[in-house]
């Protein structure tokens, strides 16, 4: 397979041996890339297959993308799910701690700007800032292996954390509109989490590299 890789189009390999379905679009220059392309092909079933068939030769960015990434990058595993879950949890808890800290410190204005330094050593605010740093780090980490349109809906359940906690822990009432909103966001998260985490690795979508 490795010896013949330079001459054999991935399409042929996919059709005859590995994937057993319609082939990919471009010529691959290593065995690893052929295996990857066949895995990619398997994931482009159903309504995601419309862009896969093309007779154009490979672009440099396609090769670069396939060389750098592996087929595992398309799947959601436990580690990625944990990072995606950490994004809204750290954001919500960080904002909550900041709000608690600022409530302790009091309103900061021009006449009492020195309070700003008091705020910086408040334990709630320090913890909140650390959590928000954690939020930004996990957000960047998620964006480094997932699409923006994958990360945003799947991390949006942070919006429903506060209403649900306030309802079930603090026994606060939630209006009908809010329940509908919570339901819509849950649907959005579930729908958004389906499919590959990175669509730009699929053929014909070289993306911004």
Partner 1 sequence: MNAAVNATAWVGVFLIASTSSAGDVLTAAAMRRLGGLDRLYSQRGVSGLALSLIQNRKFLLGVSAMAASFFSLLWSLSRSDLSFITPASNAMTYVLNAGGAALFLRERVNVQRWAAMLFVAGGVWLLAQ
Residue 143 contacts partner 1 per CB under 8 A: yes
Q: Determine the size of the site formed for partner 1 (CB under 8 A).
A: 47
Residue 126 contacts partner 1 per CB under 8 A: no
Taking the complex as a whole, how short is the minimal distance between the CB of residue 149 and partner 1, in angstroms? 5
Binding region for partner 1 (CB under 8 A) out of 1-9, 105-113, 121-129, 142-150: 142-150
Residue 175 contacts partner 1 per CB under 8 A: yes
SS3 156: coil
> CA-CA distance, 155 to 177, in Å (whole number)?
21
Q: Which of 22, 63, 66, 60 is nearest to 41 (CA)?
A: 22
Residue 90 Cα distances to 110, 122, 157, 196, angstroms: 31, 18, 12, 24
Of 127, 152, 161, 167, which one interacts with partner 1 (CB under 8 A)?
152
Residue 51 contacts partner 1 per CB under 8 A: yes
Residue closer to partner 1, measured from CB, 106 or 179? 179
Q: Which of 59, 12, 21 is nearest to 41 (CA)?
A: 21
R_g of the chain, CA atoms, integer Å: 24
34 sits in the region (left: phi over 0; alpha: psi -120 to 50; else beta) called: alpha
Of 114, 144, 171, 173, which one interacts with partner 1 (CB under 8 A)?
144
Binding region for partner 1 (CB under 8 A) out of 27-35, 87-95, 126-134, 145-153: 145-153
Residue closer to partner 1, measured from CB, 12 or 200? 200
Task: Give the torsion sign (CA, 119, 125, 130, 133).
Answer: negative
SS3 9: strand
Residue 189 contacts partner 1 per CB under 8 A: yes
Quickly tell me which residue has 């590959």 as its tokens: 196
Binding site for partner 1 (CB under 8 A): 47-48, 51, 68-69, 73, 140-141, 143-145, 147-153, 156, 159-160, 163, 175, 177-178, 180-189, 191-192, 194-195, 199-200, 202, 205-209
């Amino acid at each position: 397979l490795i010896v013949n890789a330079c001459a054999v189009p991935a399409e042929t390999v996919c059709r005859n041996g590995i994937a057993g379905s319609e082939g990919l679009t471009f010529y691959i220059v290593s065995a690893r890339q052929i295996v990857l392309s066949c895995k990619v092909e398997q994931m482009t079933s159903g309504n995601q297959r419309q862009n896969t068939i093309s007779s154009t030769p490979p672009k440099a960015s396609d090769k670069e993308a396939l060389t750098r990434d592996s087929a595992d990058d398309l799947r959601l595993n436990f580690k990625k799910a944990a990072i995606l879950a950490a994004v809204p949890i750290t954001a919500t808890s960080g904002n909550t701690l900041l709000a608690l800290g600022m409530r302790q410190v009091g309103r900061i204005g021009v006449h009492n700007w020195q309070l700003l330094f008091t705020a910086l050593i408040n334990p709630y605010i320090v913890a909140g800032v650390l959590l928000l740093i954690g939020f930004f780090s996990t957000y960047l980490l998620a964006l480094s292996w997932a699409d923006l349109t994958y990360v945003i809906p799947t991390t949006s359940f942070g919006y429903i954390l506060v209403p649900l906690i306030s309802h079930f822990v603090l026994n606060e009432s939630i209006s009908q509109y809010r329940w509908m909103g919570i339901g819509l966001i849950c649907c959005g998260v579930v729908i958004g989490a389906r499919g590959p985490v990175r669509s730009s690795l699929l053929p014909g979508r070289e993306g911004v590299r």
